[in-house]
């Protein structure tokens, strides 16, 4: 799939995986909309550092469906197309799995709004525009926690399991115009999980067959493979976790 002149929208693109994906897509010739929630300055820096032209930042809060629809309308108005949508936005907190009381109703709701309802609302807003593309792709960033039941807390793993199920359902109903895949990393050394240190990620990496941390750009490369090379793949969960599930 040739991405030159095509349009990609990335939620959570001010973060580690999102920004790495934005760089990869821009290098391939895409015009990139860098979605963010509260980190406007970081998003603008990502835009400034992208190769090529036609990039911009856009606030895309996962809890605000109306705002997501407004961004979809802006993309249609300014670009006239959307060929790639990457749902990289997410939210979590470190809560020991055994501490059931610490996983409050409010935190569970916030996690599921950001990690499940928000991505679905984003997809729902962009699908009418994406159906006009000759080969559109949606990539949902999931997690190995969806499979193991591990991760930063119990609700987080549950939210990513929901993303995996949603990916399969959407792949079934959006084909043949739109392919839908999930990219499922293990622990990546970014600032995504408050309170998780690089040392904690490194210790987890040493328990995997590859015995090294997964880098954000390796996740971005998997996104690129899903978009450009795996043109007969839809509904699949692509693991990027160093073999940790073994």
The CATH number that applies at residue 85 is 3.40.50.720
- Asked if residue 166 has pLDDT above 60, the reply is yes
Q: What DSSP string describes the chain?
A: ---TT-EEEEETTTSHHHHHHHHHHHHTT-EEEEEESS-HHHHHHHHHH-SSS--EEEE--TT-HHHHHHHHHHHHHHTS---EEEE---------TT-GGGS-HHHHHHHHIIIIIHHHHHHHHHHHHHTTSSSEEEEEE--THHHHS-SSSHHHHHHHHHHHHHHHHHHHHHTTTEEEEEEEE--BSSS-STT--HHHHHHHHTTSTT-SPBPHHHHHHHHHHHHHT-TT--S-EEEESTTTT-
Query: Does residue 246 lie within any of the structural domains?
Result: no
What mean pLDDT do residues 214-226 have? 95
This prediction has a pTM of 0.94
pLDDT above 70 as % of the chain? 96
**Structural domains of the chain, count:** 1
pLDDT band at 42 (very low <50, low <70, confident <90, very high): very high
pLDDT over threshold 70, residue 37 = yes
In-domain check, residue 61: yes
| Domain span at 191 | 7-240
pLDDT above 60 for 45: yes
> Would you say residue 192 has pLDDT above 60?
no
pLDDT at position 241, please?
A: 87
Confidence at 70, pLDDT banded by 50, 70, 90: very high
Rg of the chain on CA atoms, in Å: 17
- 245 within a domain of the structure (yes/no): no
Residue 53 has pLDDT above 60, yes or no: yes
Confidence category of residue 59, pLDDT binned at 50, 70, 90: very high
Alpha-carbon gap, residue 159 to 108, rounded angstroms: 9
Assess if residue 123 is contained within a domain: yes
Residue 211 lies in a domain: yes
Q: Is residue 166 part of a domain?
A: yes
Quick one: pLDDT at residue 196?
63
| Closest C-alpha among 192, 185, 202, 187 to residue 238 | 185
Q: Mean pLDDT over residues 105-122, rounded?
A: 98
Mean pLDDT of 29-55: 97
Among 156, 170, 216, 223, the one annotated catalytic: 156
Per residue in 121-150, pLDDT (tens digit) is 999 999 999 999 989 999 999 999 999 998
Q: Is 156 a catalytic residue?
A: yes
Mean pLDDT of the chain: 93
Q: pLDDT digit string (tens) for 10-21? A: 999 998 999 999
What mean pLDDT comes out for the span 155-177? 97
Whole-number pLDDT of residue 197:
65
Residue 199, pLDDT score: 75
Do the domain assignments include residue 186? Answer: yes
What integer pLDDT is reported at residue 146 of this predicted model?
94
């Amino acid at each position: 799939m040739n991405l030159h002149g095509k349009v990609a929208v990335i939620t959570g693109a001010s973060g580690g995986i999102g920004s790495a994906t934005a760089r990869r897509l821009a290098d391939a010739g895409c015009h990139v909309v860098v979605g963010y929630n509260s980190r406007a300055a970081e998003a603008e820096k990502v835009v400034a550092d992208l190769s090529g032209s036609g990039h911009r930042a856009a606030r895309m809060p996962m809890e605000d469906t109306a705002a997501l629809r407004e961004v979809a309308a802006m993309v249609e108005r300014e670009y006239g197309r959307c060929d790639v949508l990457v749902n990289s936005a997410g939210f979590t907190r470190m809560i020991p799995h055994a501490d059931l009381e610490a996983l409050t109703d409010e935190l569970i709701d916030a996690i599921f709004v950001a990690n499940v309802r928000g991505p679905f609302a984003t997809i729902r807003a962009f699908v009418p525009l994406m159906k006009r593309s000759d080969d559109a792709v949606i990539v949902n960033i999931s997690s190995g926690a969806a499979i193991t039941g591990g991760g930063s807390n119990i609700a987080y793993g549950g939210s990513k399991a929901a993303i995996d199920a949603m990916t399969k359902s959407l792949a079934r109903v959006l084909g043949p115009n739109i392919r839908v895949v999930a990219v499922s990393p293990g622990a990546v050394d970014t600032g995504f999980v408050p309170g998780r240190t690089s040392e904690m990620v490194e210790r987890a990496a040493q328990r995997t067959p590859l015995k090294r941390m997964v880098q954000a750009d390796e996740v971005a490369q998997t996104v690129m493979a899903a978009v450009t090379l795996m043109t007969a793949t839809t509904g699949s969960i692509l693991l990027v976790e160093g073999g940790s599930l073994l």
